[in-house]
Amino acid sequence: MKTKKIGFIGGGNMASSLISGLVASGHPARQIWVADIDTEKLQALADKSGINISHSNEQLVEVSDVLVLAVKPQALRAVALNIASLLQRKQPLVVSIAAGITQKSLARWLGDGVAVVRCMPNTPALVLTGATALHGNAHVTGEQRDLAENIMRAVGLALWVEQESDLDAVTAISGSGPAYFFLLMEVMEKSALDLGLDQQIARLLVQQTALGAAKIALESSESPEQLRNRVTSPGGTTQRAIETFLEGGFYNLVAKALYAARERSIEMSKELEQN
């Protein structure tokens, strides 16, 4: 892994986090390249991490064993078509973190025979606690699977899914998931203010409670239901709150929201495929 040259097309927040994670995990900065149309962003990345910068996507392809496509989905078609002939000759592993861009679209733009791993990371990757699902096409070798997984593990958890279509469900669960927790935290904080707590106290209590609950869940072998029952004393305050949630249709509402997010993910992929 440390001998592989990794090139990033696009130097935005996710690429920057991946680069930081790779360097922190021991991947040599001299083995990492990044290209972006924003020259100031490029220089800032170089100054921060000591990586190589390029003003040419073609040059990046020439030097890379692994090419990470980290541009906005709407811009990916033009980028892919521009480098397609070089990719056909060089045959690096291509890792795409562009949301909604299917392997079918990438094959159409890049040409047949290119090894492509499509990834669905989420925003906690920005603080190196992300959750990423990966799916590789039929051209990806075992070694290349390991490469892609190691890159994404630099910013958190990395898991493979069996079917590319599973990435739509992943989008609904973990891709959009942080916003669901932020919404619950937002409502809890506002309710805490209504109950008379100071805003700073309310926010810190909600944040630390969310962190603590996640840490317990991560470190426990028990299911969320078992953990919930463990902290719900019969006839107590927690039971009253949980009953209120359930009476309001909490289970069905969450399920409905997740199905809606998955359907929108499918719709967006179809819209982008028309480009």
The predicted model gives 223-237 an average pLDDT of: 97
pLDDT tens by residue, 68-83: 999 999 999 999 999 9
175-269: what fold?
Answer: ProC C-terminal domain-like fold (1.10.3730)
pLDDT tens by residue, 94-115: 999 999 999 999 999 999 899 9
| Residue 31 · residue 41 · CB < 8 Å | no
The predicted model gives 203-229 an average pLDDT of: 98
The ranges of the chain annotated as CATH 1.10.3730.10 are 175-269
pTM score, two decimals?
0.92
Question: Is the alpha carbon torsion for 144, 150, 151, 153 positive or negative?
Answer: positive
pLDDT higher than threshold 90 for residue 144: yes
CA distance 269 to 166: 13
- Residue 11, judged by CB atoms within 10 A of its CB (0-12, 13-18, 19+), counts as buried
Tokens representing 268 are: 């967006």
Of all residues in the chain, the percent with pLDDT exceeding 90 is: 92
pLDDT at residue number 275: 63
Non-local (6+) Cβ contacts of 170 within 8 A are 120, 133, 161
Non-local (6+) Cβ contacts of 91 within 8 A are 113, 114, 115
Q: Write down the CATH number for the domain with range 6-165.
A: 3.40.50.720
Nearest to 260 by CA among 161, 169, 167, 166: 169
For 155-158, which contacts have Cβ atoms below 8 Å and span 24 or more sequence positions? 155/17, 155/18, 155/21, 155/121, 155/125, 155/126, 155/128, 155/129, 155/130, 156/121, 156/124, 156/125, 156/128, 156/129, 156/130, 156/131, 156/132, 157/130, 157/131, 157/132, 158/132, 158/133, 158/134
The ranges of the chain annotated as CATH 3.40.50.720 are 6-165
Least confident of 31-45, 130-144, 161-175, 213-227: 31-45
The predicted model gives 263-272 an average pLDDT of: 93
pLDDT at residue number 274: 73
pLDDT higher than threshold 90 for residue 2: no
Buried b (16+ CB within 10 A) or exposed e, 238-254: eeeebeeeeeeeeeeee
The predicted model gives 243-256 an average pLDDT of: 97
pLDDT tens by residue, 11-35: 999 999 999 999 999 999 999 999 9
pLDDT higher than threshold 90 for residue 1: no
Residue 188's pLDDT band, with cuts at 50, 70 and 90, is very high
Tokens representing 219 are: 């470190």
pLDDT higher than threshold 70 for residue 55: yes
Nearest to 13 by CA among 70, 94, 77: 70
The predicted model gives 195-219 an average pLDDT of: 98
Amino acid making up residue 181: F
pLDDT higher than threshold 80 for residue 171: yes
Residue 272's pLDDT band, with cuts at 50, 70 and 90, is confident
